[in-house]
Structure 1
Amino acid sequence: MENVQVFDSPGKGRGLRATRELWAGDIVFSEPGLAAIVFDNMADHVCHSCFRRQQKLHRCAQCKFAQYCDRTCQRAGWNEHKLECGAIKTYGKVPNENIRLAARLLWRVEKEGDEVSDVKLTTLDNLEDHVADMPEDDLKELKVDIHNFLDFWPRNSKQHNVDYISHIFGVINCNGFMVSDQRGLQAVGVGLFPNLCLVNHNCWPNCTVILNHGNQSAVNSMFHSQRRIELRSLGKISEGEEVMVAYVDFLNVSSERQRLLKQQYFFDCTCTHCEGHIKDDAMMGGLEEEGSKPSEEQVKEVTEFSLQMLEKMEKARLDAKYHEVVKLCRECLKKQEPVLADTHLYMLRVLSVLSEVLSYLQFFEEAAGYARKMVDGYSKLYHPNNAQLGMATMRGGVTHWHAGLIEVGHGMICKAYAILLITHGNTHPIAKDLEAMRMQTEMELRMFQQNEYVYHSMREAALKNQPMNMMAEPVAENIKSLFRKQ
């Protein structure tokens, strides 16, 4: 933690500031989790030790709940699971994810203590719980969780009073960090990283946080490296400057971001972008061509229509009616394109859905066009080193590559690689995947530049001899918020 120190941030309470100059891609600090668990709805599909998604997992013979890739992962996860395993057997059922995480946190503290040290800048006791700020419905759920926790908590473990248990649940609610799968593509669990909780929010941050699962592939669990978060700098940070991350996705107008932050994290955002409503006009504005633009009434009408259509698309997507999704998207775009700006939030959401579903249905050329428009819009709104921009650019590049549009595809993959090297680092699985794609597309691009006919002939022959695999089935948008709301 030598790159940061705790200080009193004006109007924000405690924060962290840099103790030396940092540059884009630098790791500000790295921190192993205090505890982490797999989500309830992912418990049968994700290894409870390495958080890798697997088709076939091995169930714990004792509690019949925890699942692992193999015996190596089971041994690696036994320290965290041992007390939980016994408690589940005694309780007779598996409690919800909040209770499981709270129990793991308390067992960890009971075993190792909770003192501040050179690598531990705060403690569980000192983290904000915001229980007093919770609305009535959330307080009712909290009371149910506390009641069930007391039934689950073993009698031979240290007993805690209701106020302290309430504090732990409040900390989880405000500060739980989403844990992704090994590829970093889907949130599969939640964990607590106390030092990260000291990093304050800014809608246009100078840092990003990424989960690094470490090396979980060694045959002997002794050689597994720890799962940890890495706080990475997005650009130059001067000595003494506060390090900040975005708790919510920037792709919302300032009033909506402020509402989400107030609802989820109980504070009023006063960052420059919120106070100045920066980029709000671009996100909700009309199309401006040759000095003329549609009226406010037209923009409002199409915006409301788009919102209704997005709800229909989501329903059709959940029902796996993908051709219906495509039909709805095309109908919506037909109304949007003459009226809305190419950076309008609802147009970008429609383009995202349409490009993903068309890719799944193997209509790559059409999907590529929509993906390109989406990435162009994102590029005008996001910070140039934003991880979401990098992921969208990667998706667009792969779609162009599948479509045989190798020049654009290679360019987008290179751009995505440059962004994700900063946000994820060169050892992250996504960066490794992108490096392999970059090398492959570069080789194909050289072949294309030498002889287009030969390139397309060879590509067509390869596709005929190799059955086209279906793309991953479209799922809901990746969870964009940094921290998890119950």
Structure 2
Amino acid sequence: MTEELQSALENRGLTVSNLPDKGRCLLTTRDFYPGEVIISHEPYVCVPNNSADHSKCDGCFESSLHLKKCSRCRVVFYCSAACQKSEWKLHRVECEALSKLPKEKRRAVTPSLRLMIRLYCRSKLQSQKAIAVSAMDNYGLVEALVAHMSEVDEKQKVLYAQMANLVSLILQRPDINIKEIAENFSKPQSSTRVGNVQWKTYSS
């Protein structure tokens, strides 16, 4: 997949390299003009940072007075049928898991937990060919991000482990790898690495 990624980026004047202790990084192979778009790509997974008094559409992240909750899980909001349809393949799997939770526990599912739930769901859907896979859109790119477990204290490691266990309890899947999920929680800890956009939860 690395060769495919390099090939996909070559025509954009970019290349991927790996730096010790930093992981994967994006380098340019030509000069870019001021204001020129270097690359634009949808995140692998993302969720809005909704609160009790401020919600956003899961499809486009827009705030609206006309947002409607998913009628089944009652956790996710959509501004239109188009946004709901665009998210349906992924949300269908997430929705099934969230809907099994008691209502009071659904409200306690944080954006960080949802992000890991969606990460698992998307990777499984891609492995089943239900969602397309490409050189620039696959779970292998997420796996290649550097975990930062060695850089956090024991208290934080315990927190990651607890959160990973919550994800496992919500999904109720036999193939859940709790250690892998805990490591995924640690991956956005560095603000300097390319690729963190895949983990960002947006708020305004």
Same fold, TM-score > 0.5, yes or no? yes
Q: Structure 1 residue 88 and structure 2 residue 98: aligned?
A: yes
Q: Does 1:18 align with 2:28?
A: yes
Change beyond 3 A, Cα 1:58–1:14 = closer
- 2:136 corresponds in structure 1 to 119
Q: Secondary structure at the match of 2:47?
A: strand
Once the two structures are superposed, the pairs formed by residues 125-144 of structure 1 within 5 Å of their partners are 125-144=143-162
Residue 56 of structure 2, aligned match among 36, 46, 56:
46
CA shift, 1:51, in A, is 0.3
How far residue 70 of structure 1 moved from its aligned partner, in angstroms, is 2.3
Deviations, residues 438-459 of structure 1 (Å, cap 9, x unaligned)? xxxxxxxxxxxxxxxxxxxxxx
- Report if aligned partners of 1:43, 1:66 keep a CA contact under 8 Å in 2: no
For the 8 Å contact 2:56–2:64, the answer to whether it is kept is: yes
Q: Which of 99, 111, 123 is the equivalent residue of 2:113?
A: 99
Q: What residue in structure 2 maps to residue 154 of structure 1?
A: 172
CA gap of 1:40–1:77, structure 2 versus 1, over 3 A, is same
Shift of 1:120: 5.4
Q: 2:50·2:56 contact (CA, 8 Å) conserved in 1?
A: no
Residues in 2 aligned to 1:10 and 1:109: alpha-carbon distance in whole angstroms: 26
* Contact in 1 for aligned 2:23/2:146 (Cα 8 Å): no
Q: Structure 1 residues 12 and 70 mapped into 2: Cα distance closer, same or farther (>3 Å)?
A: closer
CA RMSD of the aligned region, Å?
2.7
Q: Does the residue aligned with 1:35 lie in a helix, a strand or coil? A: coil
Q: Equivalents in 2 of 1:14, 1:71: separation in Å?
A: 37
Superposed, which structure 2 residues align to 1:369-408 within 5 Å?
none
> Does the CA-based 8 Å contact 2:22-2:146 persist in structure 1?
no
Give the direction of change, closer, same or farther, for the CA distance of 1:26–1:42 in structure 2 (3 Å limit).
farther
Larger RCO: 1 or 2 (CA < 8 Å, sep 6+): 2
Confirm whether residue 70 of structure 1 aligns to residue 80 of structure 2. Answer: yes
Among 50, 54, 67, the residue aligned to 1:57: 67
Q: Which runs of 5+ in 1 are unaligned?
A: 181-186, 189-486
Distance 1:44 1:64 in 2: 15
Structure 2 residues not aligned, in runs of 5+: 1-8, 128-132, 191-195
Alignment of 1:46-445 (within 5 A): 46-92=56-102, 93-94=105-106, 95-113=109-127, 118-119=135-136, 123-155=141-173, 159-174=175-190, 175=196, 177-178=199-200, 180=202, 187=203
Query: Structure 2-normalised TM-score?
Result: 0.74
CA-CA distance at 1:56 after TM superposition = 3.1
Counterpart amino acid of residue 154 in structure 1: Q
Report the AA paired with residue 186 of structure 2. G
Alpha-carbon deviations, 1:308-341, whole Å to 9, x = none? xxxxxxxxxxxxxxxxxxxxxxxxxxxxxxxxxx
Aligned position for 1:405? none
Alpha-carbon distance in structure 2 between the residues aligned to 1:60 and 1:135: 38
Aligned CA distance change for structure 1 residues 127 and 12 (closer, same or farther; 3 Å): closer
Q: Following the alignment from structure 2 to structure 1, what is the Cα–Cα distance between the partners of residues 73 and 137?
A: 33
Could you tell me how far 1:31 is from its partner in structure 2? 1.4
Is 1:45–1:55's contact at 8 Å kept on the other side of the alignment?
no
Larger Rg, first or second structure (1 or 2): 1
Amino acid paired to 2:98: I
Higher helix share: 1
Deviations 1:76-96 (A, max 9, x none): 221221111111111223222
Q: Distance in 2 between matches of 1:34 and 1:78?
A: 15
3-state SS in 2 of match to 1:15: strand
User: Deviation of residue 140 (structure 1)?
Assistant: 2.8
Judged with a 3 Å threshold, the aligned counterparts in structure 2 of structure 1 residues 19 and 126 are, in CA distance, closer, same or farther, namely same
